[in-house]
Amino acid sequence: MSRVIITCGSGGVGKTTISAALALRLAEEGKRVVVLTIDPAMRLADALGLKGLDNQPQRVPTERGELLALMLDPKQTFDELVSRHAPSAEVRDRILANHYYRSVSTRLPGVHEYMAMEKLLALHREADADVIVLDTPPTRHALDFLVAPDRMSGLMDEGVMRWIVLPASVGGWRMLEMGSDMLAGVLKRLLGEETVGEIAEFFAAFQGLWGGFRERSSAVRALLRAPDTRFLLVTAPAPGARAEALAFLEVLQKEGMPFAGFLVNRCVIAAPGPVSWPPPLPGDESRWEAVGDSVEAVLARHRALVVTQDAAIADLVAHAPRGACAWRVPEADGDVHDLAGLRLLGRAMEQAGAIRGLDTP
Ligand SMILES: Nc1ncnc2c1ncn2[C@@H]1O[C@H](COP(=O)(O)OP(=O)(O)OP(=O)(O)O)[C@@H](O)[C@H]1O
Ligand SMILES: [Mg+2]
């Protein structure tokens, strides 16, 4: 059974980067790891060997262990689900060719998040890994991602469209056909006769797949809450980040999802204290002093930054439940886009205690 580690947090805090660094670190500790990334920056995707968008795990050249990486393609994941679970080739083809499906399968709210969950479940059931690291999409609201499975099965069960157009439902689609219902008339006027027909056709073809979606939704709900699943909440070392991180934590706790700790990403490292300068060379004194003053000014600014950062992190921890950890990862020198850069971050996570922390029950 694979353990699942999920990195979550606000947009742009470094979820994708941290997921990749964590996965590489765990692999090079000798584990078999799969990392499912969401929209990595091009150069990070390159570093992970994810050039083609084919939704299948690719092997990353590690020094030890085994790391497979894949990038979520929501559309392809949906198509795979249809292909795999359709009761016949004919039904599969009808769905895949349906215009409503082809637009809905990528545009429904929450589909991106839901497909990440489906992919996670498939990896959990089939990939023979010790750990699965799951990156999460940049949702506007924390809840969007965590409740995607519920929302999706709700949509399948209660979808207004389904109620209106499903041929098998008593009076539903037939009502539209008779054209006697006001709602039907309005719908047809708004969407056009052909579109309404496509929607009806889609729901009819999809009928045999609802049960599977429902089953997997509840399986993924359980997996997210499994006792050895861990949520790593990535955040920034800035005073403004506290509210969002705590809001996220509150959702995790309310939903019963196991919180591992905060990963405070892009921290500044403490600068050295007052610098003692060597005596200037004769004749160089005034220039030497000017250099010294500007270096001191830079260091003073840096120290002030560290003070602000430390206060922000202390404040975050003070407002979190007792015992919550805040592991610091430093700001890397430039963008993190290769395995060497990821390795450095992985080492920083190890030194901060995050790797051990993620492993404790
Ligand atoms: N520790 C770090 N040091 C330096 N740069 C970093 C660090 N962590 C992340 N970055 C950079 O920050 C940017 C955003 O990181 P990333 O894409 O991982 O964030 P994200 O949370 O996944 O964003 P999104 O919410 O859009 O998915 C990237 O350019 C990445 O290289
Ligand atoms: Mg990301």
pLDDT for position 54: 66
Residue ID of nearest Cα to ligand 1 atom 23: 12
- Distance from residue 335's CA to the centre of ligand 1 (Å): 8
Q: Which atom of ligand 1 is nearest to the CA of 329?
A: 1
Q: Which atom of ligand 1 is nearest to the CA of 137?
A: 27
Whether residue 9 lies inside any domain: the answer is yes
pLDDT at residue 177 tops 50: no
Reduced to 3 states (helix: H, G, I; strand: E, B; else coil), residue 119 is helix
Q: Is the CB of 5 under 6 A from ligand 1?
A: no
Reduced to 3 states (helix: H, G, I; strand: E, B; else coil), residue 50 is coil
Mean pLDDT value across residues 253-258 = 91
Percent of residues, the chain, with pLDDT higher than 90 = 49
pLDDT in tens, 328-357: 999 998 888 899 999 999 999 999 999 999
- Distance from residue 306's CA to the centre of ligand 1 (Å): 20
Whether residue 191 lies inside any domain: the answer is no
pLDDT at residue 229 tops 50: yes
pLDDT for position 209: 83
Q: Is the CB of 112 under 6 A from ligand 1?
A: no
pLDDT for position 36: 94
pLDDT at residue 158 tops 90: no
pLDDT at residue 314 tops 70: yes
Q: Is the CB of 338 under 6 A from ligand 1?
A: no
Mutate to test the pocket of ligand 1, among 35, 336, 338, 345 (most ligand atoms within 8 A of CB): 336
- Distance from residue 11's CA to the centre of ligand 2 (Å): 7
Whether residue 162 lies inside any domain: the answer is no
Report pTM. Answer: 0.86
Report the CATH number at residue 270.
Answer: 3.40.50.300
Q: Which atom of ligand 1 is nearest to the CA of 12?
A: 23
Residue for token pair 């499903």: 166
Q: Is the CB of 13 under 6 A from ligand 1?
A: yes
Whether residue 27 lies inside any domain: the answer is yes
- Distance from residue 135's CA to the centre of ligand 2 (Å): 7
| Residue ranges making up the domain that contains 328 | 1-74+110-143+225-361
Amino acid of residue 199 = I
Element (H, E) at 287: helix 285-319
pLDDT for position 41: 84
Predicted confidence band at 230 (pLDDT cuts at 50, 70, 90)? very high
Q: Which atom of ligand 1 is nearest to the CA of 19?
A: 18
Whether residue 359 lies inside any domain: the answer is yes
Whether residue 150 lies inside any domain: the answer is no
Enumerate residues 6+ apart whose C-beta is below 8 A from 2: 34, 123, 124, 127, 129, 130, 131, 132
The count of domains in the chain is 1
CA dihedral defined by 66, 67, 68, 73, rounded to 10 degrees?
170
pLDDT in tens, 113-136: 888 889 999 999 999 999 999 998
Cβ 256 vs Cβ 225: under 8 Å: yes
Q: Is the CB of 357 under 6 A from ligand 1?
A: no
Q: Which ligand is nearest to the CA of 17?
A: 1
Whether residue 151 lies inside any domain: the answer is no
Residue ID of nearest Cα to ligand 1 atom 8: 14
Whether residue 179 lies inside any domain: the answer is no
pLDDT for position 351: 96
